[in-house]
Amino acid sequence: MSTLPLHGLTVLEFSQYLSGPSAGLRLADLGAKVIKIERPGTGDACRQLSIGNQWVDESSLLFHTINRNKQSFAADLKDKKDLELVKNLIRISDVMTHNFRPGVMEKIGLDFESVKNLNPKMIYAEITGYGKEGPWKDKPGQDLLIQSLSGLTFTTGNGKTDPVPPGLAVADMICGAHLVQGILAALIRTQKTGEGAHIEVSLMESMLDFQFEFLTTYFASGCLPQRSLINNAHSLLGAPYGIYKTASGYIALAMMPIHKLSAAIDCESLNKYSEEETFSKRDEIKEIIAGFLLQNTTEHWLEKLIERDLWAMPVMNWNELSMHEAYRALDMEQVIYSNGAKPVTTTRCPIRMNEEKFKSDTGAPKLGQHNQQILEELKEIVH
């Protein structure tokens, strides 16, 4: 494998759980050395947080998934000696991330201004829940809560049903991706000017950016977006956009001219609708399509639609997907190893460069696993 693009960079990760560590993971994928600075005894709180009740060793599978390919340095930031060591690490690192609530790093003495004095080239990157001012600043910056406050839960599911939160940590993931963008752009400037930067993102602002199409439309119209009453998939789009049940499973239909759809599936009742009506009458159009598609299988409809280059695909679960040749062609899985723990299968970095996939079989570190190694490296540099 050729040299990775971020080879030689050191990132100190004071972040916990998912948002900040997902950013650290991407930087590690791209070649940076990522050192988790963890509290002795407990470490990143995510070590004790399991999903699906799955554990690898004393840490959860969730922790191993998010923290592969990183090092761990255990240090008590409230202890003077440990803090001094961490400050020495800061002096020789390029990037640091944290996602503490506002005020915590100030108390420790590792806020942006203090760090700038230690290392003026540092890219200091932080994630908060809701920014550092206003009535939400001390609220827990947790994914589902941000989804709920940001309006997102009214974009998914059908109209007139309860708000539906997407079943994944979308705020953490998107916000982590934004942090990576800010860090990398700042590193490019540092190459040119030598100056460091303070990068701030928040889960809430990231979720507002995520909904920028909807909010911009809302600002212009003053009307709340209405999910369609059935088969909703995007409140700003007309029929047929949605997922439909068939005789054998489900099929997804994206944007397509209504007369082309009716010709492809031979559904005469759709002929009376003009293209202009596909938004205003989308519920009744969707009802006709939903009833009609029940009559035959997904494969049957797909053949007719794909023949005419109309935008349709089957709806799959992970069993169906992972057995499909198209999935295997991606080579998306990799196995990672932590010392002594059972091997874990997980996904690789989704970005390819020069047709290379970035893989690494290095698993997540045990708490403090790299203390000795890092202390020795520090000694060499200091002397």
Q: Angle at which helices 282-293 and 258-265 pack, to 10 degrees? A: 20
Q: Which amino acid is at 71?
A: Q
Tokens at 77, concatenated: 């930031």
Residues from 271 through 310 that contact another protein (CB under 8 A) = 279-280, 306, 309
Distances (CA, A) of 158 to 140, 153, 162, 163, 171: 29, 11, 8, 9, 21
Single-letter amino acid, residue 369: Q
Q: Shortest gap between Cβ of 84 and another protein (angstroms)?
A: 27
70 near another protein (CB under 8 A): no
User: How many residues contact another protein, by CB under 8 A?
Assistant: 141
Residue type, 114: S
Report the distance separating Cα 337 and Cα 358, nearest Å: 16
Does position 339 bind another protein by CB under 8 A? no
Per rule CB under 8 A, is residue 169 in the interface with another protein?
yes
Minimum Å gap between C-beta 101 and another protein is: 12
Among 48, 88, 114, 235, binds another protein (CB under 8 A): 235
Is residue 265 part of the contact set for another protein (CB under 8 A)? Answer: no
Interface with another protein (CB under 8 A), residue from 148, 296, 297, 371: 148
Q: Which of 11, 110, 115, 186 binds another protein (CB under 8 A)?
A: 186
Residue 370 CA to residue 67 CA, distance in Å, equals: 14
Classified as helix, coil or strand, 341 is: coil
Choose the catalytic residue: 172, 266, 331, 361: 172
Phi (first) and psi of residue 147, to 5 degrees? -55, -45
Among 108, 131, 287, 300, binds another protein (CB under 8 A): 131
Distance CA 367, CA 40 (A): 7
Q: Does 47 bind another protein (CB under 8 A)?
A: no
For 266, residues 6+ apart whose C-beta sits below 8 A from its C-beta are none
Question: Judged by CB under 8 A, which stretch of 75-83, 100-108, 262-270, 323-331 contacts another protein?
Answer: 323-331
Q: Is beta strand 95-98 parallel, antiparallel or unpaired with respect to 123-128?
A: parallel
Cα gap 248→260, rounded to integer Å: 23
* 198 contacts another protein (rule: CB under 8 A): yes
Q: Would you count residue 318 as binding another protein (CB under 8 A)?
A: yes
Is residue 309 among the annotated active site residues?
no
Query: What x-and-dash track marks residues 77-116 binding another protein by CB under 8 A?
Result: ----------------------------------------
Q: Which is nearer to another protein, 30 or 86 (CB)?
A: 30
Active site residues: 172
